[in-house]
């Protein structure tokens, strides 16, 4: 795993941050840590599986930002599965971007980002990886996960649950060719259940299977006649 860069595994419950509350700081005085039991949480509450929204943040430490003399325009997140295959890439403006007007960092930019990744259907168990990249106005790309560990490049997202049938079919999305698709029930299974639903409605409306067949025949006949009308000069 060393060849892939440093990976930082952190408690998901310390990822969240409020942009308006973040201050520029060069010390660790505003950081705190606590045992899960101290704040009423248990390790079982940290379980993630298909359909789970896992929050991701850079820097991951609450109360910290990155500093640059060049304006940051885009934050890009790359998501890898446990086999280190690139699964999904998405980008957006940084959640926090502010020009500093006073103090030691006056004239520079403070920035950070927070987002979330939804675990796909039938996801492999293990550590999925999230890699943040900030693209600056001059095209420079800055990579970084932790203010406390500047060498870290990947954030480990522990997927420990297989998920239920409902999670995998109706809730969890799918990622194909770098694109996020809806849950299987909505695509592509909708190609099966939507026609079936239409047939069922027709049967209920006509109160018989034969009546539904006659209804569809009439629709086909009416469509053909309409096409003939449209084809006339």
Say yes or no to pLDDT of 31 above 70. no
**Does 32 or 63 have the greater pLDDT score?**
63
- Is-contact 181 174, C-beta < 8 A? yes
Say yes or no to pLDDT of 88 above 70. yes
For 154, other C-beta atoms within 10 Å of its C-beta total 23
Instruction: HSE, CB side, 13 Å, CA atoms: give it for residue 99.
Output: 5
Among 159-163, 164-168, 170-174, 205-209, the minimum mean pLDDT is found in: 205-209
Q: What pairs with residue 75 in β-bridges?
A: 92, 134
Mean pLDDT of 155-169: 87
Please report, for residues 41, 54, 159, the alpha-carbon distance to residue 48 in angstroms, rounded to integers and kept in the order given. Answer: 15, 8, 5
Segments making up each domain of the chain, as ranges: 2-181, 190-231
Q: What pairs with residue 163 in β-bridges?
A: none
Residue 158, classed as helix, strand or coil, is strand
Locate 37 and state its tokens. Answer: 């039991």
Bond before 19 cis per omega within 30 degrees: no
Report the interhelical angle of 209-231 vs 190-206 (nearest 10°).
110
Note the pLDDT tens digit of each residue in 68-87.
999 999 999 999 999 999 99
Q: What pairs with residue 159 in β-bridges?
A: 126
CATH number of 2-181: 2.60.40.4070
Residue 161, classed as helix, strand or coil, is coil
pLDDT at position 178 is 77
- Is-contact 134 75, C-beta < 8 A? yes
CA angle, residues 25, 29, 33, in degrees to nearest 5: 120
Name the pairing type of β-strands 66-68 and 109-118: antiparallel
Whole-model pTM above 0.75?
Answer: no
Q: What pairs with residue 109 in β-bridges?
A: 68, 99
Residues 6 or more apart whose CB falls under 8 angstroms from that of 196 comprise: none
Locate 34 and state its tokens. Answer: 């606590």
Say yes or no to pLDDT of 103 above 80. yes
Quick one: residue 218, left, alpha or beta (phi over 0 = left, psi -120 to 50 = alpha)? alpha
pLDDT at position 220 is 57
């Amino acid at each position: 795993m060393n060849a892939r860069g440093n990976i930082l595994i952190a408690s998901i419950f310390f990822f969240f941050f409020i942009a308006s509350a973040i201050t520029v700081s060069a010390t660790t005085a505003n950081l705190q840590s606590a045992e899960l039991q101290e704040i009423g949480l248990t390790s079982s509450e940290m379980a993630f599986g298909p359909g789970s929204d896992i929050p991701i943040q850079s820097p991951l430490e609450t109360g910290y930002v990155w500093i640059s003399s060049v304006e940051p325009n885009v934050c890009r997140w790359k998501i890898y599965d446990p086999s280190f295959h690139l699964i999904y890439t998405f980008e957006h403006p940084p959640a926090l971007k502010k020009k500093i007007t006073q103090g030691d960092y006056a004239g520079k930019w403070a920035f950070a980002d927070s987002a979330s990744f939804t675990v796909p259907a039938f996801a492999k168990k293990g550590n999925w990886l999230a890699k943040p990249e900030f693209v600056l106005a001059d095209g420079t790309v800055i990579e970084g996960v932790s203010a406390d560990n500047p060498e870290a490049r990947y954030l480990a997202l522990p997927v420990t649950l297989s998920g239920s049938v409902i999670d995998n079919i109706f809730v969890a999305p799918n990622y194909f060719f770098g694109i996020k698709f809806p849950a299987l029930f909505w695509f592509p299974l909708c190609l099966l259940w939507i026609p079936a639903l239409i047939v069922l409605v027709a049967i209920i409306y006509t109160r018989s299977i034969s009546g539904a067949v006659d209804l569809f025949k009439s629709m086909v006949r009416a469509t053909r006649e309409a096409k003939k009308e449209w084809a006339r000069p």
